[in-house]
Structure 1
Amino acid sequence: MKTYLRQLIITISIVTLYTSCSDQLNLEPISDIGANEFYQNTEEINLAVVGIYNSMQNMLDKEFVLTELRSDNTYMSPRNSETANVPYRQVDRFVLTSQNIFVEDYWRACYRTISLANNVITQIDVVEDQELADKYEAEARFFRAHAYFNLVRLWGGVFIVDKPISGEEAKTIDRSNVQDVYDFLLADLEFASNNLPNTATGQDLGRLTKWAAKTELGKAYLTLGGHSNLTKAETVLSEVVYDSPFSYLPSYANVFDISNEYNNEILFAVRYQTGSVGLGAPFANYFAPIQSDNYVVTGSGDELNVPATSMSNAYPLGDDRKDASMADSWVGFQGQVNEYRYIKKYNSDFGTVDDAGNDWPVIRFTDAMLLLAEAINESSGPTADAMDLLNQVHERAGLTAYDAGEIGTYFDFKLALELERKLEFAFENQRWFDLLRTGRAVTVMNTQFATEDQYNDPNRPQFKTEPIQEFQLLLPIPQYEIDLNPSIAQNIGY
């Protein structure tokens, strides 16, 4: 059921009406959007909350570029010319500047979500039912925290905005430090964890539960690190794994089956609906091979996010996850086999280009399981509980369980877990954040650039990529922000 998606059709026009005001200001979307004129009753607050859900589609539209494409999972198609899709290739090769369009677009998309959430939070008093008011506020605060979690991991210290403000006020705000951003988003996730419902069924299917918030909270604690945060991460993730009504499915492929969406493994997904209603997903076309006509998906593909050779080779023989996630070739006219890799996790039958109905999973139960295993290993090493959590996910993929002799040390377990997450969450925008959290991004990416065929083609030396440095783990602050307020500090190296 996608009831709230149908509500989005109504909400889009409302949200557009108010956010269009911010388009006219220099700093979008941190602006005064006339909230007092709209948020007058419970129904309007609910519509506004649904509008925040909708804003996640805009974030996701750009997110894979700044996460998957920067990781060792994928790269920009090598079959494009040097001048084609330049902004994608700049991101892929870590030669982007503060003027890169995806740096600007994703930043704006995150702050749009934050702006919409702030409008709900500041006007929540119009909801007379306190339990319902707390639920709506918890939803808004989850999405605000989610946007800030992505912002702080991609840019470091960013602007904390906790209420609607004018364009002139926005120009006076300075970047907060990383710890302050984490303190802010952790408070939001704590509130969401305590005030979201235990389940969401019927017409509410697809809306947040406290278990999604707890998983994100655990991941944030784990990302911060340190003994106290690791203890908190282990506590909250244990609640999700052992006390929630969720579980993992017996079949990995069934998790992504379009006829089985919002199954018991999905804690939160961004929902899409095919049928030319303006709510379809574009990713099947973004990721499909170019010049594939209708043999892979309706309307061919753009090949913007191609599985790397190392990604294909990373799957052990018999791993069920590979066939559900990607393919090494496709069959075209008269049975011709085309040896070009592509992502297939988001493919389905649809009639119009960029209009697939596949949901995008953001938080899955197996994420909570592997995060808990990571938290245990970081604090206590590879205990029996940590090994069991890893093996449940590993065996679900059709593989033989690890034994303690294989991964019995802290570092061996860490590397095994790193690989497990790479394969389990392939092409779900998780890999880059995992590499940042574990401190392995520079090592992994420099190995990738030294060995991957895309970056070492003697016939295309212009695509060779130099080793990256620590400063390149953060993105540059968008240039338009610096132009508006030259006192804002740019990230080092840009």
Structure 2
Amino acid sequence: MKNYIIKITAVVAIIVGFQSCDDPIDLQPISDIGADGFYSNTNEVNLGVIGIYNSLHLKQLDEWVVTELRSDNTQLSFDNSVNANVPYRQLDRFVSNPLNEFTASYWRASYKTIGLSNHVLENLAVVDDIDLAAQYEGEARFLRAHSLFNLVRLYGGVFVITESIDAADARNLERKSIEEAYEVIIEDLEFAYENLPEEYGSSEVGRATKWAAGAELGKALLTEGSATSVARAEIVLRDVATLSGKMLLDNYEDVFDFNNEYNDEIIFAVRYQSGLLGLGSPFANLFSPLQSENAVIFGGGDELNVPTEGMETLYATNDPRARTNFAVSWVDNSGNTNIERFVSKYNSTFSNVDDAPNDWVISRYADVILLLAEAINENNGGPNTEAIGLVDDVKLRAGQPVLTSAQTSTYFDFKLALEEERRKEFAFENHRWFDLLRTGRAVTVMNNHFATDFQYNDPNEPAFNTQPIQQFQTLLPIPQYEIDLNPSVAQNVGY
């Protein structure tokens, strides 16, 4: 779909360019040109759907800041002064506030995606082909659910918007409960799972499939956490694992090779294209070392998402995932070796800053089978042979020993072993924080991290020292601009 996205870049610029900065959320992204006037035939609805996919770039830009940086996987570089990159450091150390720019920008970007989805859903009547209309509806509902799912995990109760509304109505919105949000998320994903095609032609690779919806549905059900939902999650995830045709690649590093994108392991990814098309990935530059010039990647790096000490000690010396995910040194242009950790997972060859070709993987087969193992453990009160075998498959792919009897003897032993394996497997893919929230271990894990990582306890840098967090801090604050525009919106407790 990379070629497909490029063709409609100008149209999407029109769609998303007429936004009002005064609106609390971007609910009418094409209101200035008229939704009815734009969506007049099947081709224009299709362009609208592709516009939703393109909107994921804006959301993905800051997702690592509100997820991975808040986990024990990464931290902001401590080479900077205490006054540098303050909004990042606030989130890293859990001292954020409602004015934090990333708390606000991620919120806005997510509602932009939701708004674009709603516009498509309201204009499907012009699509004469019933099957194509169902596909477009499934794609729009999948992408709407994906954004809402992330919002509710990060902020708690949020606005649940399922139709276009004007700015006046938007200013009177009320936050819905977490339970109400999950009703919409699961309903959207169930529809997408039942109506999206299993695959597309080569010119449309990257569009959401039935299996992408199933993977997200399984995770949402598991996260919602009721007994009924977890039982349903096991069924859906097993179907995706056994019927999708997806599999583990033999070599972990091949999963992320930008010359091998949308391979047999990838289920859904946000697509990027280099070449000064406005579709390049910025993450190689954001994550690579400061002052590295062109020694690591073109244009140097900002060093904003640095692997923690814990990540360096997590992997066995022969685990190939370690060096695929991050480097521990780099050689500068003078031939000097610099001992410094940095995320290298998204590095590749490109010729312009913030213009890498690497896709960002949202879901892949390894995630599905480890989630299935988790669902089995939850449903049975402990692991069975199938669950253990699924985790062992991931470990063996990385050349690691299978689980020991001590790691599988009880429900909680297996839960911890699975948590560790997911951390190794999905490092820097924005899974870790959501995993800790889903398992209820965020406060425990993060307080141990803050107590043991030297960077947060350096006696020579007291300004960076970090205190234990409380449960309320696992949620982000509602952006202040929303409350300023609508004072009836309740702020999250503690902020």
Q: Normalising by structure 2, report the TM-score.
A: 0.98
Q: Kindly indicate whether the alpha-carbon contact (under 8 Å) linking 2:324 and 2:344 is maintained by their aligned counterparts in 1.
A: yes
The residue identity in structure 1 corresponding to 2:481 is Y
**1:66-465 matched pairs, under 5 angstroms:** 66-380=66-380, 381-465=382-466
Aligned length: 491
Point out the more displaced range, 104-113 or 448-457: 448-457
The residue identity in structure 1 corresponding to 2:300 is S
**C-alpha separation in 1, matches of 2:437 and 2:192:** 25
Report whether the alignment pairs 1:29 with 2:30.
no
What is the CA-CA distance between 1:383 and the residue it aligns to?
A: 0.3
Equivalent residue of 1:298, what SS? Answer: coil
Point out the more displaced range, 330-339 or 483-492: 330-339
**C-alpha separation in 2, matches of 1:97 and 1:490:** 11
CA offset digits 1:94-124 (Å, max 9, x no partner): 0010000001000000000000000000111
CA offset digits 1:186-233 (Å, max 9, x no partner): 100001001110112311111111001001000011001122111100
CA offset digits 1:133-189 (Å, max 9, x no partner): 000110000000000000000011101111111000111110000000000111000
Q: Give percent identity, aligned residues only.
A: 54
**C-alpha separation in 2, matches of 1:412 and 1:174:** 41
Q: Kindly indicate whether the alpha-carbon contact (under 8 Å) linking 1:11 and 1:50 is maintained by their aligned counterparts in 2.
A: no
The residue identity in structure 1 corresponding to 2:20 is D
Equivalent residue of 1:104, what SS? Answer: helix
**C-alpha separation in 2, matches of 1:275 and 1:89:** 32
Equivalent residue of 1:340, what SS? Answer: strand
The residue identity in structure 2 corresponding to 1:48 is G
CA offset digits 1:416-462 (Å, max 9, x no partner): 10011111110000000000000000000000101112101111100
Distance 1:247 1:276, change over 3 A: same
The residue identity in structure 2 corresponding to 1:388 is G
What is the CA-CA distance between 1:312 and the residue it aligns to?
A: 1.3
Equivalent residue of 2:370, what SS? Answer: helix
**C-alpha separation in 2, matches of 1:404 and 1:40:** 62
Equivalent residue of 2:69, what SS? Answer: coil
What is the CA-CA distance between 1:24 and the residue it aligns to?
A: 4.5
The residue identity in structure 1 corresponding to 2:402 is A
**C-alpha separation in 2, matches of 1:492 and 1:7:** 45
2:477 corresponds in structure 1 to 476
Equivalent residue of 2:189, what SS? Answer: helix
The residue identity in structure 2 corresponding to 1:260 is N
Equivalent residue of 2:303, what SS? Answer: coil
CA offset digits 1:312-343 (Å, max 9, x no partner): 11112211101110011111134311111000
Equivalent residue of 2:428, what SS? Answer: coil
2:467 corresponds in structure 1 to 466
Equivalent residue of 1:268, what SS? Answer: strand
**C-alpha separation in 2, matches of 1:438 and 1:360:** 24
Q: Kindly indicate whether the alpha-carbon contact (under 8 Å) linking 1:4 and 1:206 is maintained by their aligned counterparts in 2.
A: no
The residue identity in structure 1 corresponding to 2:284 is A
Q: Kindly indicate whether the alpha-carbon contact (under 8 Å) linking 1:200 and 1:208 is maintained by their aligned counterparts in 2.
A: no
* Contiguous gaps of at least 5 residues in structure 2: none
The residue identity in structure 2 corresponding to 1:478 is P
Q: Kindly indicate whether the alpha-carbon contact (under 8 Å) linking 1:119 and 1:164 is maintained by their aligned counterparts in 2.
A: yes
**C-alpha separation in 1, matches of 2:363 and 2:106:** 20
The residue identity in structure 2 corresponding to 1:466 is Q
